[in-house]
Amino acid sequence: MLELWMVRHGQTEFSRENRFCGSIDPPLSELGQRMADALGAGHGRDPWTAIYCSPSTRARQTVAPLAKLAKLEPILDDGLREISYGDWEGMRHEDAKTKFPAEYAYWAQDTASRGTPGGETAFMVAARAAPVVERIRREHEAKDGQRERVLVVSHKATLRILVCALLGLDVRLFRERIAQPVCALSCFRIKAGGGAMLERLGDVSHLPPELREAEGT
């Protein structure tokens, strides 16, 4: 049995202001760093086998306290980076909708197969992120009845897309059906040769109460 845990990075000023972030690389906010510390305190001593992480600053900062306690070096994988929003990166959703009403409406009708101008589609993200999970699955299949516990550190859209892929849901539903708050944990149990069972989704119980309802997306 493989336990596949996934965590979204902590709060940044971009997530607080509901801006398209994508490939922009902001650091964690002060609140986001507190989230990272809480994640480490809550799960740093769990029996992790490996940590796979997006190369972005916000993802690496989020997992750093946990990785230090777990005495593991995160494996950086470009396939786990956030969806690119192209020309709209850095803009607030409301501003893009006001400035580019026709383009925004066209994108919003099908965010899986339509990207923002110059950006990626959800299907493009699935094509690079799902193989990362498959590699993890192959490399960390339980041996001799031992359970492997692997953490993936990534981003809101990328994780929502991966959840859809693991559950066999239409990727077009990733924005409508899958919640992924900042610094939230999700967990799948994956049997060798079998399917994935979702056990947790968007869990923020490791965060102190004052951080569980953080401002922003």
CA 64, 189, 138, 23 torsion-angle sign: negative
Q: Is 82 a catalytic residue?
A: yes
- The structure tokens 């609140």 sit at 31
pLDDT at 56: 98
pLDDT at 214: 78
Distance between CA atoms of 66 and 19, rounded to whole angstroms?
27
Distance between CA atoms of 14 and 147, rounded to whole angstroms?
37
Mean pLDDT of the 33-37 span: 98
Backbone angles phi, psi at 83, to 5 degrees: -60, 140
Write down the catalytic residue from 9, 43, 140, 155: 9
Helix (H) or strand (E) holding 65: helix 57-70
Using one digit for the tens of pLDDT, what is the confidence trace for 106-123?
999 998 999 999 999 999
Query: What mean pLDDT, rounded, does the chain reach?
Result: 94
CA 66, 58, 17, 127 torsion-angle sign: negative
143: pLDDT strictly greater than 90 = no
Write down the catalytic residue from 82, 89, 120, 148: 82
